[in-house]
Amino acid sequence: MNLSIDVGNTRVKAAVFEMDMLVEVYVFEKSRIISEVKKIIKKYKVTQVILSSVVLIPLKKVEKLQKLTDFIMVSSKIKTPFKNLYATPHTLGVDRIALVFGAVIKFPKKNVLIIDAGTCITFDFLNKNSEYLGGAISPGIEMRYKSLHLFTSKLPLLAINKPNNFIGNSTNESIDSGVVNGVIQEIEGVIMQYKKKYLDLTVVLTGGNTNFLSKQLKSSIFANQNFLLEGLNEILIFNKNK
């Protein structure tokens, strides 16, 4: 059994795999990573663990994880089946590496745009020659709500809410319309830009806001909330066979 761990900006997601088959997904707080991973390893007799983190994990915690079982921590130096043409590969987020890795395995010889809608919204493009060209980074939905509240004196902090109308009839409705419709139009616009250049484009939507956004997007997409975890598992399998 394999265990993929994604330490994000707000929480930890983990998934157990039997080869490439997803068995179970867990979500927990970053402070509980050691205790939760121990439980999962014991329950499923996990033999290999892979971890990617967009935040700094204390060295002592990493050392504890390394002692539990065979352990890989994703970095920009990990072996990949795609050519990384990013101008600053050492700055490329490990989460984005995992997403592109998943794309090259699951959609071979295809032009793929991966959209990860989480704390930030990232756009990553892999061409049909298995070359990673880069993409874009944009504020996520929650970040936009928080920014409106933090950088103004009177606008309230709202939870994510699907607007009932494009024209907001109150301050709260106007915020919902501006944030949510703004994100939808941004994503649709980016997809359209890529499709103008790459007609046979495959689009993958993933991340914490996948379910919320997928119902509102008009473009044809593959919605998979666990795509990053699957990408991590593919890294584990790929590097084991090397």
Active site residues: 95
Tell me the one-letter amino acid at 47: T
**Helices 94-106 and 227-240 meet at what angle, rounded to 10?**
80
Q: Please tell me the distance from the alpha carbon of residue 199 to that of residue 62, in angstroms, as a whole number.
A: 44
- 159: tokens are 């939870």
Q: Please tell me the distance from the alpha carbon of residue 238 to that of residue 107, in angstroms, as a whole number.
A: 15
Helix (H, G, I), strand (E, B) or coil at 75: coil
Q: Give the DSSP per-residue string, 130-154.
A: SEEEEEEEEE-HHHHHHHHHHTSSS
Helix extents (H) in 45-140: 59-68, 94-106
The partner residues of 17 in beta bridges, in order of sequence, read: 2, 22
- Which region, left, alpha or beta, applies to residue 130 given φ > 0 means left and ψ of -120 to 50 means alpha? left
User: Any residues with CB less than 8 A from the CB of 80 and at least 6 apart, and which?
Assistant: 97, 100, 101, 104, 235, 238
Tell me the one-letter amino acid at 86: Y
